[in-house]
Amino acid sequence: MQSLTDKMDARGVASLTDGELLSLMVGDEALAHQLLEHAGGSLAQLVGEERSRLRMVGGLGLTRARLLHVAAELGRRIACSETEPMAVISSSEDVTRLMRPQLEELAYEECWALYLTTSNRVIERQRISQGGVQGTVVDHRLVVKRALELLATKLILVHNHPSGAATPSGADLSLTKRLKEAAALFDIVLLDHLIIAREGSYSFKQHDRL
């Protein structure tokens, strides 16, 4: 381990390979190699593993499994904070860039609402629901209520699919329809509903489903 810390001090932490970083995290080079092999060489897949299963790989243990998940969450939050300066939405791609770091690697579904002004400036982005692997329940009335509180004239719905496929489900289609109709009663426009997944993203607007 001393050679790795020396390398980090001399060349910077960015000079370390994935395996070397993992070695420093878990304190064991052989275990780090085994963990990467278990995840097919993917750090994202590794930290996406359920803690109860991850702790069993090579005798990692609960404490170090927790540490890996904490490190992954720190990285995710840093990535999210770096996107914050984008205050104006001009396309679906802008929304995807803004929300992908927040949602892509989650093992469960989350749904977020972006509330906008008439000039598409983001007033607030808010997590409105958190669920399981198969889905999450969204109350469209609460989404509209918050829009009225913020005096937002437009909104965008965003959620993830942990399965990896961005194809909308029947529930997604139904939610979009209900939210669009409820928002329209108060002259609030649902600009888009985006699904973000590892295999890509899906825009209801781009597919003419709004």
pLDDT tens-digit profile of 104-113? 888 889 999 9
Q: What is the pTM of this model?
A: 0.62
CA distance linking residue 152 with residue 189, whole number of Å: 9
Residue range(s) occupied by CATH 3.40.140.10 in the chain: 87-203
**CB burial of residue 172 (10 Å; 0-12, 13-18, 19+):** buried
Q: Which residues pair with 113 in a beta bridge?
A: 126, 157
pLDDT at 130: 84
Instruction: Could you please state the CATH topology (level 3) that the domain comprising 87-203 is classified under.
Output: Cytidine Deaminase; domain 2 (3.40.140)
Residue range(s) occupied by CATH 1.10.150 in the chain: 2-80
Question: Terminus-to-terminus CA distance in the chain, angstroms?
Answer: 56
Contact assessment for residue 26 and residue 55, using Cβ atoms and an 8 Å cutoff? no
pLDDT at 153: 96
- Convert the pLDDT of each residue in 42-81 to its tens digit: 887 787 788 888 888 888 888 988 888 888 778 767 665 5
CA distance linking residue 168 with residue 156, whole number of Å: 16
Stronger pLDDT, 195 or 68, i.e. the higher one: 195
Structure tokens belonging to residue 94? 């802008």
pLDDT at 29: 87
Whole-number average pLDDT of the chain: 86
**CATH number for the segment(s) 2-80:** 1.10.150
- Tell me the three state secondary structure of residue 108: coil
